[in-house]
């Protein structure tokens, strides 16, 4: 039987790892829930941001907290351009899946051409910093990631609930024609939301560069678990995405501590199936 | 008189110039440059997909070797042309492409792909068409059951038994030999195969294994795994890792303020582990490093220099030749000696020659007369010392002044 310290440490690791799932799920959940566009290229954009963070950090010695100031607006602009393509070619939900998959593949090839297929690691002296709390260790970078994910999820939730723009976006997602009858310009708002989703991918990418391994094929490593998180957290619900991310992360980590690490990938989909069958009020 | 002298001088200067030119160009003239219809050698590498980071190393090594072979006599005096296709790291794609190479492109010979699964796929096709296949990276030799398949890397027929004992011998040589070890491995088949062998051999020799863990290839978070390794607090950590997993595991351990007393890493990304502050004194497997005594082998220094130049140009983070690149060099050396030794492009004759003869490769002399066409194993242990990999075990392969550090 694992000790309480092991279980506690696994729980901390899992919740913090879940912060990354939540952060990656945030932009995807918004575009899928509110624009009805399934943006598979979200993962590729996050990795492009990760590689840019790596490049700026290793070649030009730009600290990641400065590089994010360049990367996030750039990603926002890419999000706008991507949405222009969706509008121009009248892309529907299924079509978006195919087009964004193609876009992700093109980005993967582009990344491979420039940075090669070799593994890249952005080594920093603070990558292994931890805070000691009793018998537990809290990794600093992952904690910051979780806090950033929390602020973004909470801020986005408030924006969608409390502001006119947020309410208009939700109304358009419910019924675009009725919202338009009330003077909501759905098209402009959709551009804004696309940009924000891509910008969130930029933020996630910066953290990916700091805590994970970079290889072009890794783009697809997060896909399954993040999709499960988006569905469990409910489409278009930023707080739900974060909570679901942490739930999955913690479940995976406890499974690794109690049973075998090889069980971790099974956990996210088992939780997804269980919640879909149970269909609780909050999901 | 002065005129005659001037004319004499001019004639001698001209003669000297002609002579020098002739001398300088002599090697090129005397060497019979390969000519005629090229001998086409087809193969695939995982240029895209999850194995792509290794394929780029093999591609560079292949390009160097094709140029090298063509600068000599080619294959039977004919130039060699390498027909390389991308199997996308997928065994099913590899299978189809080898079928295409043999039946549509009608290549004369084939060269093996990278990694166990694509090799197995290609081997099936090679067997169907009776082609010789040379491969350098099948981590589970017992799966190589085709009698015209040849290993270019000296794993030996049972590396799950032989290599753990090399590691255990090295451990036993330490001032305080480890009494127990944690085994942590990726479920990637060749890593898992070696990990299971390590567990069996360690227990046979009285080294206890209090914790044996397997994780999925591509595992993202090592926090919980690190907590279990820390709690086990064994004398040694054996990691069946691939690529940067070793760095991730050591970092996750460091976040828990735990440094393993000693650690071995099966197939790590060599550069990042050597350069990582957590990688100091880490052990790993190898067959060759750019150091003595390996660099004294004929032609190795030249190949190593060419590899360094091209790998740097290709922006590879670790541009030094190691066992990975050497595997592909060895593949071409085996094929070259097989064809020229058999004096034929006929696969059966090449296979017969290889089975009867010793072939000189970058790894030293190789034989194919044992189980699964393997010769004797030649695994070595290297250790990170001052951010460089050094061969430390067996002692006779360590460079002068280098030894295994506890």
* pLDDT at A82 exceeding the cut of 80: yes
B239 shares contact with chain A (CB less than 8 Å): no
> Which tens digits make up the pLDDT trace of B334-354?
999 999 999 999 999 999 999
- For residues B149 and B121, is the Cβ–Cβ distance under 8 A? no
On whether the CB atoms of residues B135 and B125 are closer than 8 A, the answer is no
Q: What is the pLDDT of residues B61-79, one digit of tens each?
A: 999 999 999 998 899 999 9
Look at residue A112 and tell me if it is in a domain: yes
- Say if residue B121's pLDDT is above 90: yes
Task: Encode pLDDT of A222-257 as tens digits.
Answer: 898 999 999 999 999 999 999 999 999 999 999 999
Which domain, by its residues, includes A18?
4-278
Lowest mean pLDDT among A145-159, A190-204, B40-54: B40-54
Cα B362 to chain center, whole Å? Answer: 10
Q: Name the residue among B400, B403, B390, B404 with its Cα closest to residue B171.
A: B404
Residue A173: the pLDDT is 85
Q: In the predicted model, is pLDDT for residue B103 greater than 90?
A: yes
- Give dist(CA A37, CA B399) in Å, integer: 60
> Which residues on A lie below 8 Å from B317 (Cβ)?
118-120
Q: Tokens 């098209």 identify what position? A: A187
What is the number of H-type helices and E-type strands within chain B?
12, 14
pLDDT confidence of residue B34: 83
* Interface contact flag, A10 B223, Cβ < 8 Å: yes
Distance from CA of B365 to the nearest CA of A (A): 31
Nearest to B159 by CA among B403, B379, B323, B404: B379
Average pLDDT over residues A78-89: 93
Which element (helix H / strand E) includes B366? strand B364-366
Q: What integer best gives the mean pLDDT of chain B?
A: 88
For chain B, list the domains and their CATH numbers. Answer: 39-154+298-375 (3.40.50.2300), 159-286+381-397 (3.40.50.2300)
Within an 8 Å CB–CB cutoff, is residue B296 touching chain A? no
Q: What is the model's pLDDT at position B14? A: 45
Number of domains forming the structure of chain A: 1
**A283 is a domain residue:** no
Looking at every residue in chain A, the average pLDDT score rounds to 91
Give contacts of A119 with chain B, Cβ < 8 Å. 53, 243-244, 269, 272, 317
A130, part of any domain: yes
> So what's the pLDDT on residue B317?
76
If you average pLDDT over residues A204-222, what whole number do you get? 90
Within a domain: A192: yes
The Cα–Cα gap between B359 and B367 comes to 7
Task: Tell me what the mean pLDDT of segment B23-51 comes to.
Answer: 73
Q: Does B218 touch chain A (CB under 8 A)?
A: yes
CB contact B47 to A (< 8 Å): yes
Distance separating alpha carbons of residues B374 and B124, to the nearest angstrom: 19
pLDDT at A282: 59
User: Residue B273: closest CA among chain A residues belongs to which residue?
Assistant: A121
Give per-residue pLDDT as tens, B208-262.
999 999 998 778 889 999 999 999 999 999 999 987 889 889 999 999 999 999 9
For residue B315, give every residue at least 6 positions away whose Cβ sits within 8 Å of its Cβ, in sequence order, or none.
A115, A116
Domain of residue A192, CATH code: 1.10.3470
A266 Cα distance to chain centroid: 20
What the block records as the tokens of B255 is: 């976040």
Most confident of A49-53, A90-94, A126-130: A49-53
Judged by average pLDDT, the poorest of A112-121, A189-198, A224-233, B146-155 is A112-121
- What integer pLDDT is reported at residue B174 of this predicted model? 95
**Is B228 part of the contact surface with chain A (CB cutoff 8 Å)?**
yes
The number of residues making up chain B comes to: 406
| H-helix segments, A89-139 | 93-115
Whose CA is closest to B241, among B197, B179, B207, B284? Answer: B284
Please state the length of chain A: 283
CA distance A118 to chain B (A): 4
- Tell me phi and psi for residue B244, to 5 degrees: -85, 5
Lowest mean pLDDT among A232-246, B6-20, B96-110: B6-20
- Given a cut of 70, whether residue A141 has pLDDT beyond it is yes
pLDDT tens digit sequence for B317-327: 788 898 889 99
Predicted confidence band at B32 (pLDDT cuts at 50, 70, 90)?
low
Average pLDDT over residues B292-302: 89
Q: Once rounded to an integer, what is the mean pLDDT over residues A128-144? A: 93
For residue A265, give the 3-state DSSP assignment.
helix
CB–CB contact A117 B53 (8 Å): yes
Closest chain A C-alpha to B387 CA, distance in angstroms = 14
Across the interface, do B251 and A119 touch by the CB < 8 Å criterion? no
Helix, strand counts (H, E) of chain A: 11, 2
């Amino acid at each position: 039987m694992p000790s309480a310290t092991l279980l506690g440490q696994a729980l901390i690791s899992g919740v913090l790892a879940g912060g990354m799932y939540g952060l990656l799920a945030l932009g995807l959940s918004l575009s899928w829930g509110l624009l009805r566009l399934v943006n598979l290229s979200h993962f590729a954009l996050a990795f492009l941001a990760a590689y840019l963070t790596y490049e700026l950090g290793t070649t030009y010695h730009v600290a990641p907290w400065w590089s994010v100031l360049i990367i996030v607006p750039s990603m926002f602009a890419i999000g706008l351009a991507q949405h222009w393509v969706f509008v121009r070619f009248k892309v529907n939900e299924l079509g978006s899946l195919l087009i964004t998959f193609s876009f992700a593949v093109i980005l993967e090839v582009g990344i491979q051409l420039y940075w090669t297929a070799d593994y890249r690691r952005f080594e920093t002296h603070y990558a292994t910093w931890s805070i000691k709390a009793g018998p537990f260790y809290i990794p600093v970078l992952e904690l910051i990631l979780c806090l950033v994910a929390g602020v973004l999820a909470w801020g986005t939730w408030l924006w969608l609930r409390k502001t006119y723009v947020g309410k208009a976006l939700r109304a358009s997602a419910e019924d675009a024609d009725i919202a338009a009858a009330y003077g909501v310009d759905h098209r402009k708002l959709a551009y804004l939301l696309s940009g924000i989703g891509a910008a969130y991918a930029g933020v996630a990418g910066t953290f990916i560069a700091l805590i994970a391994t970079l290889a072009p094929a890794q783009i697809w490593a997060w896909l399954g678990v993040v999709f499960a998180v988006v569905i469990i957290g409910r489409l278009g619900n930023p707080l739900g995405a974060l909570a679901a991310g942490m739930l999955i992360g913690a479940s995976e980590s406890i499974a690794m501590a109690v049973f075998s690490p090889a069980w971790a990938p099974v956990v996210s989909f088992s939780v997804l199936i269980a919640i879909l069958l149970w269909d609780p009020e909050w999901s | 008189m002065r005129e005659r002298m001037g004319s004499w001088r001019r004639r001698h200067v001209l003669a000297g110039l002609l002579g020098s030119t002739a001398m300088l160009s002599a090697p090129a003239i005397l060497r019979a440059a390969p000519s005629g219809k090229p001998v086409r050698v087809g193969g695939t590498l995982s240029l895209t997909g999850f194995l792509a980071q290794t394929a780029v190393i093999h591609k560079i090594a292949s390009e160097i070797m094709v140029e090298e072979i063509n600068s000599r006599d080619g294959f039977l005096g004919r130039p060699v042309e390498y027909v390389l296709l991308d199997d996308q790291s997928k065994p099913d794609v590899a299978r189809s492409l080898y079928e295409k190479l043999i039946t549509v492109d009608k290549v004369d010979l084939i060269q093996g792909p990278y990694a166990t699964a694509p090799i197995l796929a290609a081997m099936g096709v090679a067997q169907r068409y009776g082609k010789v296949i040379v491969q350098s990276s099948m981590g589970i030799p017992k799966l190589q059951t085709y009698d015209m398949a040849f290993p270019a890397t000296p794993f030996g027929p049972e590396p799950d038994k032989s290599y753990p004992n090399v590691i255990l011998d090295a451990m036993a040589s330490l001032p305080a030999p480890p009494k127990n070890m944690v085994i942590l491995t990726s479920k990637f088949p060749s890593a898992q195969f070696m990990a299971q062998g390590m567990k069996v051999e360690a227990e046979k020799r009285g080294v206890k294994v209090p914790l044996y863990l397997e994780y999925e290839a591509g595992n993202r978070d090592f926090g919980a795994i690190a907590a279990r390794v820390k709690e086990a607090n064994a004398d040694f950590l054996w990691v069946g890792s691939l690529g940067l997993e070793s760095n991730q595991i050591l970092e996750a351990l460091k976040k828990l303020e735990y440094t393993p007393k000693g650690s071995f890493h099966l197939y790590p990304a060599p550069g990042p582990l050597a350069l990582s502050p957590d990688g100091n004194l880490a052990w790993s497997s190898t067959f060759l490093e750019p150091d003595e005594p390996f660099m004294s082998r004929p032609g190795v220094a030249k190949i190593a220099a060419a590899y360094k130049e091209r790998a740097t140009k290709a922006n590879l983070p670790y541009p030094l030749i190691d066992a990975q690149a050497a595997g592909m060099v060895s593949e071409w050396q085996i094929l070259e000696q097989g064809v020229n030794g058999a004096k034929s492009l006929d696969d059966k004759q090449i296979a017969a020659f290889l089975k009867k003869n010793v072939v000189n490769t970058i790894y030293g002399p190789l034989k194919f007369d044992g189980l699964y066409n393997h010769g004797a194993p030649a695994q070595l242990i290297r250790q990170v010392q001052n951010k460089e990999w050094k061969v430390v075990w067996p002692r006779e392969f360590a460079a002068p002044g280098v030894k295994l550090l506890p």
